[in-house]
Amino acid sequence: MPAPHTVLVTGATAGFGKEIATHLVKEGHRVIATGRRTERLTALHNELGNALFPLTLDMADKATLRALPHSLPEDWRNIDVLINNAGLALGVTPAPDVNIDDWETMISTNISGLVEITQALLPGMIERNSGYVMSIGSTAGHYAYRGGNVYGATKAFVAHFMKNLRTDLLGTPLRVTTIEPGLVGGSEFSNVRLRDDAKAAAVYEGTTPLMPADIAETVSWLIGLPAHMNVNHLEIMPVCQASGGLAVTKKEG
Ligand code: NDP
Ligand code: 8X3
């Protein structure tokens, strides 16, 4: 895939997505930046200029997702790279006490929205014989932890959907990758999840977490790899993090 590319980044109003969009525009790519918060997309457009196309898009809006890319201006329709980044965790409440609406929101955003937009863009990529689908999974999709319940399961879905997609696309030049980060600060992820800014800040206290710029750098590196190379999945943690082993409960006395 020769540069520059047309890249669609979901969830570009904050965190990883905003950093990825900014990084890629500065590298000379054209970026469609999406999210629900229009004012943030407008600000990004004002900052980065016409190499960025702001598109207000709710990942729960299936009809709009299905109409892509034909609903875009003609010179933005040939999308080379899809970055499935939009997503969220809501709560760390153990399953019996959880608000089921939070589970539904995570499923509709992290799974349903992701599969809708991916399917909508694949025919064009196949027709042009060129394309890259990259999704942001999570270490939470591999390692179970208390309160991770549906969030972790949505990310396990993302990783496996991407593996199956790659199998379906074998014989085409399309590339498929899941990036699976661990602890990343500098985004709104924990503020959204914990609904409490002080608790969110405490998650990162005393750590040197990954930052959105690290994820953007990784995305850029992946896009620039030779066309015959496919990284299937890439797990990334900060040095201060490792998996924690299994839990055991013991009888008292
Ligand atoms: P942020 O909360 O900072 O950003 C999330 C982005 O997703 C926002 O731009 C938000 O836009 C968008 N989004 C959420 N819901 C919707 C929706 N219904 N429709 C459209 N856009 C939506 O989080 P991060 O940048 O940290 O997270 C980005 C991705 O990385 C997520 O998928 C997350 O699960 C994953 N991840 C995060 C890690 C971390 O530690 N931070 C680690 C591993 C993975 P808006 O609200 O404007 O719609
Ligand atoms: C975010 C990483 O460990 O907070 O996906 O679930 S974690």
CATH number, domain with residue 182: 3.40.50.720
pLDDT at residue number 126: 98
* Whether residue 1 has pLDDT greater than 80: no
pLDDT at residue number 253: 74
* pLDDT tens track for 209-240: 999 999 999 999 999 999 999 999 999 999 99
Residue 4: pLDDT band (50, 70, 90) is confident
**What is the mean predicted confidence (pLDDT) over 13-30?**
98
Tell me the residue range of the domain where 167 lies.
6-236
Atom of ligand 2 nearest to the CA of 148: 6
Q: How far apart are CA 224 and CA 245, in angstroms?
A: 36
Residue 111 · residue 158 · CB < 8 Å: yes
- Could you tell me if the CB of 139 is within 6 A of ligand 2? yes
pLDDT at residue number 245: 85
Tell me how far the alpha carbon of residue 62 is from its chain's centroid: 18
Q: Would residue 242 count as lying in a domain?
A: no
Q: Would residue 125 count as lying in a domain?
A: yes
Q: At what angle do helices 114-128 and 149-168 cross, to 10 degrees?
A: 20
Q: Enumerate the active-site residues.
A: 151
Closest CA to 136 of 89, 78, 94: 89
**What is the mean predicted confidence (pLDDT) over 56-83?**
98
30 Cα: distance to centroid of ligand 1 (angstroms): 21
Number of structural domains (the chain) is 1
86 Cα: distance to centroid of ligand 2 (angstroms): 14
* pLDDT tens track for 129-156: 999 999 999 999 999 999 999 999 999 9
Q: Would residue 243 count as lying in a domain?
A: no
